[in-house]
Structure formats: structure tokens, C-alpha cells
Amino acid sequence: MTNNKIFPAFLWMAIALLGAAALGGIALNRGESINALWFVTAALCVYAIAYRFYAAWIAASVLIIDPTRATPAERLNNGHDYMPTNRWIVFGHHFAAIAGPGPLVGPTLAAQFGYLPGTLWILIGAVLGGCVQDMVTLFFSMRRNGKSLGQMARDELGAIGGIAALIATLLIMIILIAVLGLVVVNAMKHSPWATSTVAATIPIAMLVGLYMRNIRPGRVLEGSLLGIILLLLAVAGGGWIDHQPGLRELFDHPGLPLAWAVIGYGFAAAILPVWLLLAPRDYLSTYMKLGTVILLALAIVWMQPHVKMPALTQFVDGSGPIFGGKLFPFVFITIACGAISGFHALIASGTTPKLLSNERDIRMIGYGGMALESFVAIMAMVAATVLDPGVFFAINSPAGMVGKEAADAVAKISSWGFPITVEQMSLLAQQMGEATLFARTGGAPSLAVGMASIFGSAFGQGMLSMWYHFAIMFEAIFILTTLDAGTRVGRFMLQDMLGNIWPKLGETSWYPSVLLTSGMVVAAWGYFLYIGVIDPNGGINILWPLFGISNQILAAIALCVATGILVKSGKLKHAWITGLPLTWLTLITSTAVWEKLTSNDVRVGFFAAANDLAAKLATGILPPEKAAVAPTLILNQRLDAVLAIFFVCLLWLIVLDMLRICVRHLNNKPVPPLSEIPHEVTRLEEAWQRD
Amino acid sequence: MAKRLNVLLLRGWHALRELSGDNAYELYLKHHASCRTDTPALSRKDFFLRQQQQKWNGIKRCC
């Protein structure tokens, strides 16, 4: 071995040893708090090794990336959507598109099992599952001129695959929007500061939209800077409003009116022109998101906070207060984004493949982009677990679980072995500028408290309430972007489907159709949001697992498409790279749905909960306010059961269809042909060299 | 030293402009000129509106 080979070998050995030591430290630590820097170290070493060896091997030996091949961006260059772009710029676009609120909320909820299961799943799931899914989907879409996942499923597997992908995408969108809406509602509930700040983001976005359209057309950076300054002022202004009697009451609302406001907002945003609200809001939320994530990473490295949550809690047995269900399979369902998220396959088969200037960039953008998102999930896990476990459970446990009164809640949480007092919670609420922090479910408030405490210790304790509301605003602004954008995409998909029945409905600019289909999409997610708000168990308990299941079923569909293509390309012996995560996802989603249907635990089983409530209603032991909503809740539990069955049938349908295609191919029977675009030599590099 | 810092800052500024889409119109004009078509180029405002409309027709943001 020569000298220039020995040094890298030693370097990678050192990284492997450091990573193993950090992971070992995290896994074996018991009874004492542990420095969060170990989490960061373990994560970075795992990503580095996986990226250097596994991703490089996939690129070179499985996908056989060809740097001399012209990409669609080069061949179809039209100056806007197809355009060869610098890889760092594509990385930025891709990361901004895939990183949403999911990796922040999922790990926060899964922290009820302790820090260890979630952390391990985030790391292992990402490097073996999520990153691979993103990378191969990006590659296959790029080799097909940037075709969408649905089109690839139809071309490569057949009509069944295509329809399954379409329906799964629409349904996941509806559940995703409902659950994110619920997270925002819970963050604004009885908080004039949070509500007024979130409300202010709407006119601010519109002002920025007008600026970019009329005052200084297309000057995106100027408009964004103006918007960010106004957003920061809105956070401070919310604090001022909170102290003005007469004014604060205007923004002090319980969950239900806030849910109606979010539903109304969603409808308005879907039918307004994009330049007025959606586009400018997205600019602001992207900068906020990137800025805050970088700030959080710096603060964690600088402050090195201690993780106080135990490695494992007793709730691995399924009795957890935040959501019911055992560690297996529910930790894998709860953390979808951050480990493996099917939604990414939609981005990786959308804009990104049309921008790549060279196939070489696939590894960095597909694999690297997901590794970075997984790192965001690790930071969310740190932010949730640096809180005192008692505080964490007090914020995240719904009133239906621990009782409505503060004294009951602290007694119950303390009895679990996580001591907490009413005084401690009141002081914390006061520091954060909130009336109460009990039962603020959904993950956003506890993440905000965690972030505020990390930022507070890094940049000054006096600003805790400001940091808290900054964090809430930051989460709300990009949740609302997802809500706007998701409703709009749902509308397009619905119009596309209805257009098959009556072509007029398929015209995306025909206003009656726009109103009708937007209304249908909003009504669908609005229904789940409404139920989530009136459910005394907090709604998150039902909606988040349903979201996780649907997101991972979408991932399974993407992995089916990829596995099918690998087998059809004669790469059967390497098909395990997608087959392995696919098997795991099929196992966990099927088990989760099975438990959701058959469990006798009313907090897990849909039918158990429906029957239990129906029996209580029949005997008349429910108090009148609960009896009034009971029939709706019973109906909803049954509907959720039907939905879960539907999801798992969809999954098995496409898995079996993929296996059928593979078996036919291996037996030399006709299958849909590979739709890869033929090889064409790139001229970009020589053009660049000439320049 | 100062020169190198200047180059670095300028590069960062260009990256920021490209990442945000601030220079999208200039890129479009450059592409339009290289195509040698007879149709006149869109104005900055029309280009911006068309671009926004196209951008949000598909799935652009994830969970």
C-alpha cells in the first residue's frame, strides 16, 4: 500500500472507532445523564461511513452511474424546469424540499420510549432505508427524463402500481395535512402570543408577495429579507399583544375555533393565486427553516446540553401516554421522516432529477440530502430529551390520559417515576410566556421549550419566552406552507382523477372546478382535524400513527418500483438494497395495522376504542359533554379502521404485483419493458472545459 | 488576502442568489439569447409570474 492509500485507511478506521464508541456510549449508558455531543458524534460518524462506503458502492456497482451520460437537464434544457445546475445549488433545493416538520415532530413523540430506540432507528433506518430510497428513486427518475413516481410505477409495474401510487399519495397528503394542522392548533391553543404571531405571518407573506410581484418584480432576496425582519418583529409584537388586556382576548381561543380558522385559511390559500400567499410564504419558511436548523446545530455543539431522558422507559410495553402501542412496531411508525419517508420519493422524482448536470451528483444529493434530514431528526430527539422527563411528559400527555387538573397530572406523572411539581410547571410556563404548558400535545410546544432552553443557555436566559415563540412561529410557518402546498397538489390530483369522469372538471383553471375540488380536499383533511381537536385523548394518538403508516406505505411503493426495475435490469443479486428496507417496511406497517385493528387496548385498537365508547354511551355513564361527541368519535374510530385496512391492502397489492412482474421476468415471460432513455454522450464537461 | 476574501464573498453572494432564485430572470435571458428564437423574451414580471405558477403545480414541499 502506498502512503496516499494508508492515510485514508487510517482516517476511516479512526472514524469507525469513534462512531462505535459514541454509539456504544449512547446504547450502554444507564441511570446518568449523557452529553448530547455523543449523539452528534455518533450520527456524523455513521453518516460519513455509510456515505463513503455503502452509497459509493451502490453508485458504482449497483446503479452503475455513468458520468459520461447526458442528463435530462442537458438534453432537454429549456431554461426553467430542465436546467443543468451546480450540484450544491441542487443540494440546497432538494434539502429545502424534503425537510419539513416531520423529522421534528416524530422523534419528539417517540421520545416517550426513551432516547435509545428512536435514535437507533433514525440512524439505521436512514442509512439503510431512507437514503437508499431517495438515491435510487432520484437515479431511476433521472434516467427517465424526470418522470414522477406514479408514472414510473405505471410504466414499470403496470396499471395497478400506477393507481396504487396515485391513491396512496392523495391519502397520505390528506392525513399529513390534518395532523400538521392539529400540531399548529395545539401550539396556538389559549396562547395569544403564539396565535397572534402565527396570524401575523399571513399578512406578512401577502405583503412580501405584493412586493415581489408589483413593487420589485422577481427580487426574491429583497422581498425575503423584508419578510424575515417583519416576522421577527411579529414574534416580539406577539409578546406585546399578550400583555395588553382587551387585545389579548382577541387571540385567546380554545382548540375548536382555531381548527375552524385553520380550515378556512386552508381553503382560502388553495384558491388564491400562488404569488400572493403560497410562494412568498415558502421563501420565508425556507430561510427560517434552514437558519433555525443551523442555529440549533451550533447551539447543541457549543452548549453540549445533557440528555436527561433515560435510554429506555417503561412505556416500551405499550402504555405510553403520548400514543398507545408497544415499541415494536410503533417506534418505527412514529418516526417516518428522519428515518425513511415515502414523501421524499415524490420530490426525488419531481424537480430534482431535472436539474442534475451529471449523474455523479446523485450520491451527494439523494443519499447526502436524506442523511442531513436524518441529522435534523437527531437534533429534534436531543431537543426533546434534554428536558426533564417529567416536564416532557407533562407537556405531551393529553388531559384524557393524566387528568385535566394540574395537581392530578403531576401526581400521575410523578407516579411513573418522573418527578415533577405544579410549581415547576407554572414557573416554566411563566418563563416561556404561556398560561400553561400542561397537555400541549403535538410535539411543537415541547420542541419549542427544548429549543428555547438550548438557545437560552447559549444566547442568554432572559429571552426564553422570545425563543419559545420564535420556535413556535418557525414550526407554524412551514407547517402552514405544507398545508397550502399540499391542499393545492391534492386539488390538482383530484381534478386529474375527476377529469376522467367529466373532462371539464379536469381543467385546472376552470373556477367552479377549482372551488369544488379545493373544497373537497379541505373538507377531507378538515374532518380529521376536527375529530382530532374534539378527541379528549388528544387526536395525535390516532392521527400520527395513521400518518406514519401511510407515509411508509408510500415508501414501500417507491421501493417496490425500484426493486422491480433492479430485477428487470438483470441486477437480481443486488436487489436486496431496496428489497431489505421494503421487507422491513411491509413487516412493520402490516404489524402496526394488525395491532390497530385487533388490539383490546382502547388506546391502540380502533375497534376496541369504538366498542368501549359505544358501551359507555349505552349505559349512560358518560358526562353530557362527552356523550354529545361520542357518536362522532365512534364513527371516526371505525372509519380509521377501514382506512388502515385499505392502506395495508394497497401495500400488499403492489408488493404482490411487483413480485409477479419479477417472477415473470425471471421466467423469461413478457413484462412491461424498461422505460430508460437511451445513452447519449454528455457535451457539458467539454463545453465547460472550453469556456 | 483582501482580494481572496472578496472573491469568496462574491461567490457566496452568487450562490445565495442562485439558491433563492433571485437571478432566475438573468439565467432565463441568457438561455433565451442562446436559443436564437424569434419570440421576444418575457418581461421580468411576466417571467416571475409564469415561474411561480409552474413551480407550484407539482409537489414541491414535503413533510
Secondary structure class of A35 (helix, strand, coil): strand
| Partner A contacted by B23 (CB < 8 A) | no
Flag if A218 and B44 touch (Cβ within 8 Å).
yes
- Going by the DSSP 8-state scheme, the letter that residue A245 receives in this structure is T
Using an 8 Å CB-CB cutoff, list chain B residues near A547.
63
| Partner A contacted by B37 (CB < 8 A) | no
| Partner A contacted by B54 (CB < 8 A) | yes
Secondary structure class of A292 (helix, strand, coil): helix
**pLDDT number for residue A686:** 61
Query: What is the average pLDDT value for chain A, to the nearest integer?
Result: 93
Task: For A270, name the nearest residue in chain B, comparing CA atoms only.
Answer: B56
Using an 8 Å CB-CB cutoff, list chain B residues near A93.
19
Using an 8 Å CB-CB cutoff, list chain B residues near A79.
27-28, 31-32, 35
CA distance A504 to A499: 6
Picking from B17, B57, B62, the nearest residue to A97 by CB comes out as B62
CB A518, CB A271: distance < 8 Å:
yes
Flag if A100 and B62 touch (Cβ within 8 Å).
yes
Flag if B59 and A347 touch (Cβ within 8 Å).
yes
CA distance A38 to A45: 11
CA distance B3 to A434: 51
Residue-wise pLDDT tens digits, A344-386: 999 999 889 999 999 999 999 999 999 999 999 999 999 999 9
CA distance A128 to A580: 8
What average pLDDT does this structure show over A70-91? 91
- Any bridge partners for residue A69, and if so which? A681
CA distance A68 to A56: 17
Picking from B18, B25, B47, the nearest residue to A89 by CB comes out as B18
Residue-wise pLDDT tens digits, A11-27: 999 999 999 999 999 99
- Residue identified by cell 400535545 is A441
DSSP codes joined into one string, A367-402 = IIHHHHHHHHHHHHHHHHHTS-HHHHHHHHS-HHHH
| Partner A contacted by B39 (CB < 8 A) | no
Give the strand pairing for A34-35 and A306-307.
antiparallel
Of A147, A258, A193, the closest CA to residue A471 belongs to: A193
Flag if A102 and B62 touch (Cβ within 8 Å).
yes
| Partner A contacted by B8 (CB < 8 A) | no
Residue A40 cell numbers, joined: 452528534
Residue-wise pLDDT tens digits, A408-434: 999 999 999 999 999 999 999 999 999
Residue-wise pLDDT tens digits, A294-319: 999 999 999 999 999 999 999 999 99
CA distance A16 to A231: 43
Flag if B48 and A551 touch (Cβ within 8 Å).
no
Of A96, A101, A74, the closest CA to residue A85 belongs to: A74
Best of A221, A478, A494, A683 to mutate (most B CBs within 10 Å, chain B): A221
CA distance A251 to A193: 8
Residue type at A88? Answer: W
> Cβ-count burial of A357 within 10 angstroms (0-12 exposed, 13-18 middle, 19+ buried)?
buried
Picking from A80, A224, A282, the nearest residue to B61 by CB comes out as A282
Secondary structure class of A69 (helix, strand, coil): strand
A3-190+253-681 CATH: 1.20.1740.10
Residue-wise pLDDT tens digits, A630-677: 999 999 999 999 999 999 999 999 999 999 999 999 999 999 999 999
**pLDDT number for residue A106:** 95
Longest alpha-carbon distance in chain B: 47
Q: Please determine, for residue A1, whether its predicted confidence score (pLDDT) is greater than 60.
A: no
> Please, what is the angle between helix A131-142 and helix A540-568, to 10°?
50
**pLDDT number for residue A688:** 56
Of A144, A135, A137, the closest CA to residue A56 belongs to: A135
CB A251, CB A497: distance < 8 Å:
no
- Residue identified by cell 391492502 is A649
In a domain, B16, yes or no: no
Using an 8 Å CB-CB cutoff, list chain A residues near B20.
220-221, 224, 283
Of A466, A477, A473, the closest CA to residue A194 belongs to: A473
CA distance A218 to B51: 10
Q: Please determine, for residue A462, whether its predicted confidence score (pLDDT) is greater than 80.
A: no
Flag if A350 and B44 touch (Cβ within 8 Å).
no
CB A428, CB A440: distance < 8 Å:
no
- Going by the DSSP 8-state scheme, the letter that residue A129 receives in this structure is I
Cα-based distances in Å from B30 to A86, A335, B13:
16, 45, 19
What average pLDDT does this structure show over B4-13? 93
In a domain, B27, yes or no: yes
Q: Which residue has the higher pLDDT, A29 or A276?
A: A276
Confidence of residue A687 (pLDDT cuts 50, 70, 90): low
Q: Please determine, for residue A690, whether its predicted confidence score (pLDDT) is greater than 60.
A: no
Contacts of A531 (CB under 8 A, 6+ apart): A539, A542, A632, A633, A636
Residue type at A332? Answer: F
DSSP codes joined into one string, B26-50 = HHHHHHHHHHT-SSPPPPHHHHHHH
In a domain, B35, yes or no: yes
Contacts of A184 (CB under 8 A, 6+ apart): A198, A262, A444, A475, A476, A479, A480
- Residue identified by cell 446504547 is A27
Give, rounded to a whole angstrom, the gap between the first and last alpha carbons of chain B: 44
Task: For B54, name the nearest residue in chain A, comparing CA atoms only.
Answer: A81
Helix (H) / strand (E) element for A539: namely: none
What are the domain boundaries of chain A? 3-190+253-681
User: How many Å lie between the alpha carbon of A383 and the closest alpha carbon of chain B?
Assistant: 19
CB A39, CB A119: distance < 8 Å:
yes
Secondary structure class of A85 (helix, strand, coil): strand
Q: Which residue has the higher pLDDT, A452 or A460?
A: A452
CA distance A385 to A36: 9
Q: Please determine, for residue A76, whether its predicted confidence score (pLDDT) is greater than 60.
A: yes
CA distance A41 to B22: 36
User: How many Å lie between the alpha carbon of A105 and the closest alpha carbon of chain B?
Assistant: 10
**pLDDT number for residue A321:** 94
In total, how many domains does chain B have? 1
Cα-based distances in Å from A431 to A112, A234, A380, A434:
24, 19, 21, 8
Residue A249 cell numbers, joined: 382576548
Confidence of residue A586 (pLDDT cuts 50, 70, 90): very high
CA distance A558 to A147: 13
User: How many Å lie between the alpha carbon of A279 and the closest alpha carbon of chain B?
Assistant: 7
| Long-range CB pairs of A31-37, under 8 A, 24+ apart, other chains included | A31/A310, A33/A306, A33/A307, A33/A308, A34/A306, A34/A307, A35/A304, A35/A306, A35/A307, A36/A300, A36/A304, A36/A305, A36/A306, A36/A307, A36/A382, A36/A386, A37/A300, A37/A301, A37/A304
CA distance A232 to A470: 8
Cα-based distances in Å from A326 to A179, A314, A395, A403, A538:
21, 10, 21, 22, 19
Picking from A88, A169, A274, the nearest residue to B53 by CB comes out as A274
| Partner A contacted by B63 (CB < 8 A) | yes
Show the domain range for B37.
Answer: 22-55
Contacts of A491 (CB under 8 A, 6+ apart): A270, A514, A517, A518, A521
CA distance A542 to A538: 8
Flag if A343 and B25 touch (Cβ within 8 Å).
no
CA distance A152 to A156: 6
- Any bridge partners for residue A85, and if so which? A356
Residue A401 cell numbers, joined: 390520559
User: How many Å lie between the alpha carbon of B3 and the closest alpha carbon of chain A?
Assistant: 23
Using an 8 Å CB-CB cutoff, list chain B residues near A282.
60-61
| Partner A contacted by B48 (CB < 8 A) | yes
In a domain, B49, yes or no: yes
Using an 8 Å CB-CB cutoff, list chain A residues near B14.
none
Q: Please determine, for residue A481, whether its predicted confidence score (pLDDT) is greater than 70.
A: yes
Q: What is the pTM of this model?
A: 0.95
Flag if A93 and B19 touch (Cβ within 8 Å).
yes
- Going by the DSSP 8-state scheme, the letter that residue A672 receives in this structure is P
Q: What are phi and psi of A307, to 5 degrees?
A: -80, 120
Flag if A213 and B55 touch (Cβ within 8 Å).
no
Using an 8 Å CB-CB cutoff, list chain A residues near B31.
77-79, 83
DSSP codes joined into one string, A439-481 = T--SSHHHHHHHHHHHHHHHH-GGGHHHHHHHHHHHHHHHHHH
Using an 8 Å CB-CB cutoff, list chain A residues near B55.
274, 279
Flag if A79 and B35 touch (Cβ within 8 Å).
yes
CA distance A611 to A607: 6
Using an 8 Å CB-CB cutoff, list chain B residues near A488.
56
| Partner A contacted by B47 (CB < 8 A) | yes
Q: Please determine, for residue A545, whether its predicted confidence score (pLDDT) is greater than 90.
A: yes
